[in-house]
Amino acid sequence: MSTIERNTAIVKKAASDLGFEYCGVAKAKRLEEDERRLADWLNKGFQGQMHYMENYFDLRVDPTRLVPGAQSVITLLFNYYPAEQQEATAPRISKYAFGKDYHSVIKEKLHSFLFELREKIGNIDGRGFVDSAPVLERAWAREAGLGWVGKNGNLINKNAGSFYFIATLITDLVLVSDNPFIKDYCGTCNRCIESCPTAAILPEKVIDASRCISYYTIELKSHLKPTLEKGKMEGWLFGCDTCQDVCPWNRFSKPHTTNQFKPIPELLTLTTSQWEEMTEETFKKIFSNSPLQRTRFSGIRRNLQLLKEDE
């Protein structure tokens, strides 16, 4: 076994030991096709008020500019599909937000991952990212052979669906690259397109994020109010899972076993009236380390008003 092969085996085992269900490797390079798609998407204004998507364009499409000396892009998938479901009367929360904020959980695992690689391989350089930096995570997951990007814009793994957090480690370590995932298994299925409440899923795997319920309820600043046709919110208070819930590939989803992602008990049962009666102090206490902090209490209040108007 060569040194490169040995190091690659160390990477894969370390990822598995930390609870990552899938780990793939791609050679660090400029993603030219994704660059063109991103430029077109931005030029059409599909990012809405998410102006941060326009920043650091060159870094987004070229990891060697983001991390000088980069040789490999390691992509890791971590399951967040919950065993528990919300009660029917509860305003709907996206499954990824049921438990502790994934940024802190996955970042800690990435730190441990890099530490272990340095312990076993030597002095390597690398930077880990979890949905908070200019990295095209889904494109790199595809390049690393972990799945394809579906019509709903999510990475879909053929054996496990799409309810996964994606983490990325860009490193100067030379590794054996996995084969890119070339085939698209969406086929003629259009369930996500047909089920999207706001018609945000367009042809050719293009998502008009400015029309997505997740955008309305999370990304749009809390003092701004979207104009929606009546009945389009479908009960969503924070995020939206409709396009994933209807995807046939998610029949393979299995509940995670991570304590930090177990649902906050109140989240599963709170009724609309209980949400409306909640004080900011109570909100901060219950959801102190929850993704719901992203939209703040003022955003939750705005979203509750949207739901009321949607009835």
- Average pLDDT in the 94-111 region? 97
Asked whether the predicted pLDDT for residue 224 surpasses 90, the reply is no
Torsion of CA 253, 259, 264, 269, to 10 degrees: 50
What amino acid occupies position 250? N
Can you tell me the distance from the alpha carbon of 31 to that of 143, in angstroms, rounded to the nearest whole number?
A: 10
Q: Which of 142, 162, 143 is nearest to 154 (CA)?
A: 162
Predicted pLDDT at 120: 96
Q: How is residue 143 written in tokens? A: 């390049």
Q: How many CB atoms lie within 10 A of CB 233?
A: 25
- Average pLDDT in the 34-63 region? 90
Give me the residues paired with residue 167 across strands.
Answer: 76
Asked whether the predicted pLDDT for residue 287 surpasses 90, the reply is yes
Can you tell me the distance from the alpha carbon of 52 to that of 171, in angstroms, rounded to the nearest whole number?
A: 24
Q: How many CB atoms lie within 10 A of CB 276?
A: 15
pTM of the model: 0.95
**Residue 134 pLDDT level (bands cut at 50, 70, 90):** confident
Residues designated catalytic: 131
Predicted pLDDT at 71: 98
Q: How is residue 12 written in tokens? A: 């894969």
Asked whether the predicted pLDDT for residue 72 surpasses 90, the reply is yes
Can you tell me the distance from the alpha carbon of 5 to that of 151, in angstroms, rounded to the nearest whole number?
A: 35
- Average pLDDT in the 145-168 region? 98
**Residue 311 pLDDT level (bands cut at 50, 70, 90):** confident
User: Any residues with CB less than 8 A from the CB of 129 and at least 6 apart, and which?
Assistant: 110, 135, 137, 167, 168, 169, 170
Question: What sign does the dihedral 223-229-235-239 (CA atoms) show?
Answer: negative
- Average pLDDT in the 121-136 region? 91
- Average pLDDT in the 42-52 region? 89
Asked whether the predicted pLDDT for residue 227 surpasses 80, the reply is no
Asked whether the predicted pLDDT for residue 228 surpasses 90, the reply is no
Q: Beta strand 126-129 with 164-171: parallel, antiparallel or unpaired?
A: antiparallel
Predicted pLDDT at 225: 80
Q: Beta strand 236-238 with 92-93: parallel, antiparallel or unpaired?
A: parallel
Asked whether the predicted pLDDT for residue 254 surpasses 90, the reply is yes
Predicted pLDDT at 226: 82
- Average pLDDT in the 268-286 region? 96
**Residue 277 pLDDT level (bands cut at 50, 70, 90):** very high
Predicted pLDDT at 131: 86
Which of 3-17, 49-63, 223-237 is predicted most confidently? 3-17
Helix (H, G, I), strand (E, B) or coil at 32: helix
